[in-house]
Structure 1
Amino acid sequence: MVVKQVKHWLVTRANAARWRAIQDWAEARGAQFSQTRDGLGFLIEQPNAQPGPLRVEWGVSQRSYLPGTELRMRCEMGLHPDLQLMVLCRALMENLERAVFEAYTDTLKTRVDTDTPEEMRWLVMFPKFNHAASQIARQRYGFVGVTKDLARGWVDGQLGEALAQASQDLLPEGHPFVLMCMRGNLYLRTEMAEADLPRVQALVRLLETAAREALRVNAQLSDSGAWPTTTSIAWTPSTRPSDIN
């Protein structure tokens, strides 16, 4: 037990130095920085962030399609619950579509399990939007939404420009990345083998841009919300909670 405690203390101390720049940046923003209980990851919480409370985590991936470690974020927005939108890298979209197809055609299964993450089920539930204004965005990302008009409104503007810019270095071709608007919040996940300040900052800026554009699109929804697809009525996304998603 003593050896284990000493080892944990050494790991925690080493990572405190390793993530010092990220901690300083977070605290300068008015956020709280803490290491995870095992000392192998970190958590940033900023309740007063704009345009909504922000939570940033780096650690072991919670998704099978993101190997190793991931950066995951949540921005609480209080958006209309029918505002369901997703952007993901095109290579990942194609991989997830194959996985969903295999699940459907498996003779031992009559449906995709409800434990399947939304990002896979949405590829079946909602229409794809393939006409983003940015040619680079069209080539590098897939867009899905409860309606094509809402998807267009979200990505044909500052978000589309930010995604096109990110594809040059921050999110190179084939790098797993998912950005989702669901349950009234914005979520971002991406593979990140090692957390470093410039990439964390850049991804937070990307999430903030997506959040501002989601607020703009949210104003287009009436109290009755968007018209859901027939599939979404029969197949409601799971709301099983987890740390970020």
Structure 2
Amino acid sequence: MTRDGQGFMVEQPKALPGPLRIEWGASQRSYITGHELRMRCEMKLQGDLQLLVLGRDLMETLEKAVFEAYTDTLKTRVDTDTPEEMRWLVMFPKLTQFSSKLVRQRFGVLGVTKDLADAWLEGELSELLAQSSQDVLPEGQPVVLMTMRGNVYLRTAMPVPDMAKIQSLVRLLECACREAQRVNAKLSEGSPWPTTTSVAWQSSRPE
């Protein structure tokens, strides 16, 4: 718990499928007002395995913000300090075919390729996203679930800490991690990586 009682952090270095860090506190993203829950699971995935699921309402809001940044006469590109979840919207292809109608209605999915995004989403992750949309992730609640820099992250609005919801979201994160491991294993077998502009973006990103 922070000194002012407005946040907490829990670390579980021996958690499976990877070391887990859970934080609740003031939002670090402009698109989440108030407090947020953010989680990170260290998975040692290939660094270029870049996949993203986000609430459809949030995706539309961020797409509008990115479009305005590009069309602003004072800017020639999205700033390098813009969060990845915004930059990826203009970098990566969006998934258009979903096995679950509910998931298609409630979430946007994209990745370094459509095939990788589809492989990540298929099966258990799609099922759990559909289930989560009925309770812990109601319509309109901003949520981001992504793989980058070898880890898996989840971020969502949470005005007050709710243990039951946190536990449900940890299960969602763990599912995303297992599915990311599966995709990562297929790539490790020798499948070629697609050419992507992400390398250029990453090289210009400040530490």
Superposition TM-score tier, normalisation by shorter sequence: over 0.9
Structure 2 counterpart SS, 1:221: helix
**Larger deviation: 35-44 or 147-156?**
35-44
1:221 Cα shift? 1.0
1:163 Cα shift? 0.2
TM-score normalised to structure 2 length: 0.95
For structure 1, list consecutive stretches of 5 or more residues without a partner in the other structure: 1-34
1:194 counterpart = 2:124: no
How many pairs are equivalent?
206
1:122 to 57, 75, 88: 88
Change (3 A) 1:126 1:203: same
- Give 2:193's aligned amino acid: A
Deviations along 1:156-205, one digit per CA (max 9) or x if unpaired, are 11000000000111111111000000000000000000111100100000
RMSD in angstroms over aligned alpha carbons? 1.5
1:76 to 42, 55, 71: 42
1:40 counterpart = 2:6: yes
Hey, what does 1:221 align to over in structure 2?
A: 187
- Give 1:39's aligned amino acid: G
- What are the residue-to-residue correspondences of 1:161-172 with 2, within 5 Å? 161-172=127-138
> What CA distance in whole angstroms lies between the structure 2 residues aligned with 1:106 and 1:214?
36
Structure 1 counterpart SS, 2:165: helix
Q: Is the 8 A contact 2:92 2:111 kept in 1?
A: yes
For structure 2, list consecutive stretches of 5 or more residues without a partner in the other structure: none
Hey, what does 1:32 align to over in structure 2?
A: none
> What CA distance in whole angstroms lies between the structure 2 residues aligned with 1:218 and 1:46?
23
- Give 1:60's aligned amino acid: A
Q: Which runs of 4+ in 1 moved over 4 A?
A: 237-241
Hey, what does 1:181 align to over in structure 2?
A: 147
1:225 Cα shift? 5.7
Q: Which has the larger radius of gyration?
A: 1
1:204 to 163, 170, 179: 170
> What CA distance in whole angstroms lies between the structure 2 residues aligned with 1:136 and 1:189?
21
- Give 1:227's aligned amino acid: P
1:40 Cα shift? 1.4
Hey, what does 1:140 align to over in structure 2?
A: 106
> What CA distance in whole angstroms lies between the structure 1 residues aligned with 2:192 and 2:24?
34
Structure 2 counterpart SS, 1:171: coil
1:232 Cα shift? 2.5
**Larger deviation: 116-125 or 232-241?**
232-241
- Give 2:167's aligned amino acid: Q
Hey, what does 1:28 align to over in structure 2?
A: none
1:234 Cα shift? 3.8
